[in-house]
Structure 1
């Protein structure tokens, strides 16, 4: 047989979730497959590509030039977005291949196929060889993703993503009202009711609800209300339709848990807010050890009901990590206590979980976050940061594909001031879970502390889009935009205040909402109300360094330098004070030349040297 060995750019494309679609709607799957052919073939011909063959729902193509391959991929992805139900992953590699008759063989083909398998929906992943060839090409932008070890390839490979849409300019992105933002499929998971005789089992019921929230929040095209809002309705006897309207969602998931010894009964109902009808119900009578399978089944059924079908990637996302049941119970207790800002008790629970199962990554990530919080805001020392790093790295080594592992490690690295490494970890966390609020929010705060205000604005905006009821991200976005001198700061501030007021209606004593909201109210010209909020926060939480810190910020803005510095000194004495943040925050500008403020910064420099 005639053979022809040459250098070529090999591209693989694959339809996301095609197997699942075949199982649910065979006729619809064939329509998608046909549309995919109709879309790709003329584009490939236009860019001088050679259609080699179809592999199920995938396509293999060769190009003589790298530019043609990448430009064709960009065009294909752009046009596929206009086809309902068609989502593609694309991988491209430049390598030596053998053309034999109408087929292609060689390592270049195998590597391209494996790169495509790493790609996330609607993305184009390329090898370093492709990246190097197009790095100076105008109009093509790439972003480093990560280094991976491919099967049967000796050396690790660096993967890059082709940026198929222009980066958002934080100064031009409209900040719209919550009603406009909340269209489409949306759900609130209410805290499951404890039907056991033991009130101490509340943490277990809450933990199950939160795990389902976290799982559903990772799925695309589904808005999931955060825990802080949905849990505000705990033990309130209200009609589900009223709750749904308050939270501005289309569906609610409610349930109950009865735990007795090693037996577990969980009932669930997915309710339509519009008419109160039940979209899906189930009851599970199982052994306690079956809790992971139950959670997966609940998430799968809810997601399928709302989204129609799940991609293979989404099926992986909803599969929980398993551990010994007692280790899992300690993990749930640790999470509950962490939300209550009871860091010492939370630390004990995570440590107990790890003692039972040293390989349970979520507990290591949780414990790392605890030590980071203690170090940054509660008077911790370098030993705490070292422990945080150990546990985050342990989580990463156990579960490298868990977004929380990378977000936790990035948090540690940012505190270590290993900024470039931290940024890569945040980016990887976002790649693994594009709906990770924590990853965006921590990336934003890290960027602000580093002085990268434009990036902080971009990430605060993303965080606010991922969690549409969150007030912190929008209020801090307003601060970043204000520093940048952008007119959109006023829009962000207004929407942030709408969110914080709504949050306080549900959680009237929330310390963060009262203290951060007070600073923003002052910026909005509502001085009297701002002082009322901050005084309420200090009265409720006189020992909370974060509340006192925001109080100092407010008095500094008001020109009361003596009061501001006194409060700031108290906050720092309590261990609450990020030096880089204070140095970047323009709210403290009136204090810069004050001797006591200069001495305070010097003290922080010595602490974090």
Structure 2
């Protein structure tokens, strides 16, 4: 909402921080940045958004930054009827931004719990990563650039992260972010690999001395073990460490999916791919990932459905374009294939691969073989059409030699070589099974069970429930706290000398209600009592509702109709 367009990265960054904070609450399903941001700045019916994201509640808000102050508004909306069941405005100095992010996250979690039932909330969801607000702003700017995923934007992001650590040499997240950027530039071939890895390692050595509690720490080793060394067992161990810290970590879930795909453990891969889709349903990359599983299982029509949706979400996703080509080739859909690849790159290679797979007696032109032999290993194709073509031609020995070199150098393009349909003709060649031996076997894999719920006895046992229940009922009968429109779970917990998690659990367990319905049941009974009293005949229905503790006309009307199955006005006519 700020006049300065340059503040957008800051506002986006704060939004992502709140999203990430809420994901720490294990029983909450929170949609990730990619899918949430798909609706940013768009005028779309709230019910349509809820349907696309498969959620019951939308958090909507705005951020306005002006010099050293920030104003954040937030509201929770029920997607069934568009009811705004909570809204609040936060106005703070910028120096308090981390406390504000934590306050907003905790308040949102409280309000969702108040309306939908018990789940446990930590005392703190966001910790202060730096004492320097300028360093934080540079980090957020770097983050916004990194998420554009282009070589130029990643190099610009590194500059921002450098400025962040120059302002705060103990800013661990900035070092981890730089590490990831250098790793990407090295893997993509936009920086000499050895140089990139050296810079990544130097940042890791600094970051690990500052903070190893962040998920970024074990994640830093995943790239090394998985992509660089193909040490699948160590990769598996470190991905699990990431998910132990945060079971919904997008990069952790994606890495585990990719690991299981590489090993051919497709049932396991689907479990994690579906978790990705649950928290980030509008990510083109996630739909591409699950399409890959179907492709390797030779379920080409299913893969094609997922790929088409991925390309709808992101028409520029190059890897998805190639995978669609491969599905059409394996399905022998010539007309669709020709139309799809028109005006794309590598048309000669694509057509040749189609003909080799679907026709007999096709030869590979010598000029192509010569061209491929002149390509240095640092200029290898993003997708190895040359290898696929040779494998399906009379040049299988040359193909096997090329695959052997790529496996030897741990080229990411062939990490799934065991599963690739186009490499099937090489499987019976001597030495294929010895190209690489996985350090991780299926028998060693255990699907992690998220420890999302404590046992009943860990929260309240039966005796404690009965004792606290009696205290709660006595308090509501004698003190009538429900008449206070600002009554909240925290206030009730303080009066009963307990904590919000226990009181929330008590109300859910003992009354099968959420906190708001529990309180509103008292308000409704009080309303019905004073509404039929002749001395209150001069008061309006809304006035009586406010006198009963309701603080919103829409909340009162919605709750009244839900319980009584009639409107307040119809009830009044029937009972006066």
TM-score under structure 1 normalisation? Answer: 0.55
> 1:316-340, CA deviations, whole angstroms, 9 ceiling, x for partnerless residues?
5544534421111121122211221
Match of 2:235 among 392, 398, 422: 422
In the alignment, what sits opposite 1:408? 220
Give yes or no for contact 1:475–1:497 (8 Å, CA) kept in 2: no
- Measure the CA separation in 1 of the matches of 2:275 and 2:245: 17
Residue 465 in 1 paired to residue 279 in 2? no
Give yes or no for contact 2:75–2:86 (8 Å, CA) kept in 1: yes
Q: Secondary structure at the match of 1:286?
A: strand
- Measure the CA separation in 2 of the matches of 1:412 and 1:598: 25
Report deviation, 1:500: 4.6
In the alignment, what sits opposite 1:253? 59
CA 1:518–1:273: 2 relative to 1, 3 Å: farther
Q: Secondary structure at the match of 2:38?
A: helix
CA 1:603–1:213: 2 relative to 1, 3 Å: same
Larger Rg: 2
Match of 1:347 among 158, 168, 176: 158
Give yes or no for contact 1:392–1:409 (8 Å, CA) kept in 2: no
- Measure the CA separation in 1 of the matches of 2:248 and 2:389: 31
In the alignment, what sits opposite 1:330? 138
Match of 1:559 among 346, 356, 369: 356
Give yes or no for contact 1:262–1:288 (8 Å, CA) kept in 2: yes
In the alignment, what sits opposite 1:395? 207
- Measure the CA separation in 1 of the matches of 2:310 and 2:118: 33
Q: Secondary structure at the match of 1:233?
A: coil
Contiguous gaps of at least 5 residues in structure 1: 1-194, 543-547
Match of 2:392 among 574, 585, 590: 590
TM-score under structure 2 normalisation? Answer: 0.58
Match of 2:6 among 190, 196, 200: 200
In the alignment, what sits opposite 1:145? none
Report deviation, 1:426: 1.1
In the alignment, what sits opposite 1:3? none
Residue 490 in 1 paired to residue 490 in 2? no
Give yes or no for contact 1:257–1:264 (8 Å, CA) kept in 2: yes
- Measure the CA separation in 2 of the matches of 1:203 and 1:564: 46
In the alignment, what sits opposite 1:443? 256
Bigger drift between 326-335 and 394-403 goes to: 394-403
CA 1:413–1:604: 2 relative to 1, 3 Å: closer
Give yes or no for contact 2:9–2:141 (8 Å, CA) kept in 1: yes
Give yes or no for contact 2:390–2:398 (8 Å, CA) kept in 1: no
Residue 358 in 1 paired to residue 160 in 2? no
Give yes or no for contact 1:389–1:412 (8 Å, CA) kept in 2: no
> 1:182-230, CA deviations, whole angstroms, 9 ceiling, x for partnerless residues?
xxxxxxxxxxxxx111111111111122222223334323333332222
Bigger drift between 440-449 and 427-436 goes to: 440-449
Residue 375 in 1 paired to residue 186 in 2? yes
Structure having the higher helix fraction is 2
Q: Secondary structure at the match of 1:400?
A: coil
CA RMSD of aligned residues (A): 4.1
- Measure the CA separation in 2 of the matches of 1:339 and 1:554: 34
CA 1:448–1:498: 2 relative to 1, 3 Å: closer
Q: Secondary structure at the match of 1:336?
A: helix
Question: Comparing both chains, which one has the higher relative contact order based on Cα–Cα distances under 8 Å and sequence gaps of 6 or more?
Answer: 2
The aligned runs of 1:236-247 (5 Å cut-off) are 236-247=42-53
- Measure the CA separation in 2 of the matches of 1:524 and 1:217: 41
Bigger drift between 505-514 and 552-561 goes to: 552-561
Q: Secondary structure at the match of 1:224?
A: coil
Tell me how many residue pairs correspond in the alignment. Answer: 392
Report deviation, 1:556: 4.0
Report deviation, 1:415: 3.8
In the alignment, what sits opposite 1:235? 41
